[in-house]
Amino acid sequence: NAGVMQNPRHLVRRRGQEARLRCSPMKGHSHVYWYRQLPEEGLKFMVYLQKENIIDESGMPKERFSAEFPKEGPSILRIQQVVRGDSAAYFCASSPGLNTGELFFGEGSRLTVL
């Protein structure tokens, strides 16, 4: 029973390139959350998605960032024209549904922008 799978685990990009981070939730989970963690800081909520719907994107920067969770396939967090300040760990978590308690986290994707 695989847990939340994130890839790539580590990604290096140069300024101006695009970064795509993928998250496959646990089997049977239909809700996905993305969080960003800067070095030595706490987890900051970015976006909450259900299949084919964005439920809450109040934590997403207004530009360059987008997320999707298609009917088939993993959830994708896309960062266009990356800047050094985007360097962080990006964690994905999943849950079975609304108000069901525990979030299960993936191991994170660590983005480094040179």
Partner 1 sequence: RKEVEQDPGPFNVPEGATVAFNCTYSNSASQSFFWYRQDCRKEPKLLMSVYSSGNEDGRFTAQLNRASQYISLLIRDSKLSDSATYLCVVNNYGQNFVFGPGTRLSVLP
Residues in contact with partner 1 by CB under 8 A are: 33, 35, 41-45, 48, 55-56, 58-59, 89, 91, 93, 98-99, 101-103, 105-108
CB of 23 to partner 1, least distance (A): 12
Q: Among residues 38 and 80, whose Cβ is nearest to partner 1?
A: 38
Question: 49-66 as b/e, with b when 16 or more CB fall inside 10 Å?
Answer: beeeeeeebeebeeeebe
Neighbours of 5 (CB within 10 A): 15
CA-based torsion, 16, 59, 36, 40: positive or negative:
positive
In angstroms, what is the minimal distance from the CB of 109 to partner 1? 11
CB of 114 to partner 1, least distance (A): 20
Q: Choose between 18 and 56: whose C-beta lies nearer to partner 1.
A: 56
Q: Taking the CA atoms of the chain, what radius of gyration do you get in angstroms? A: 13
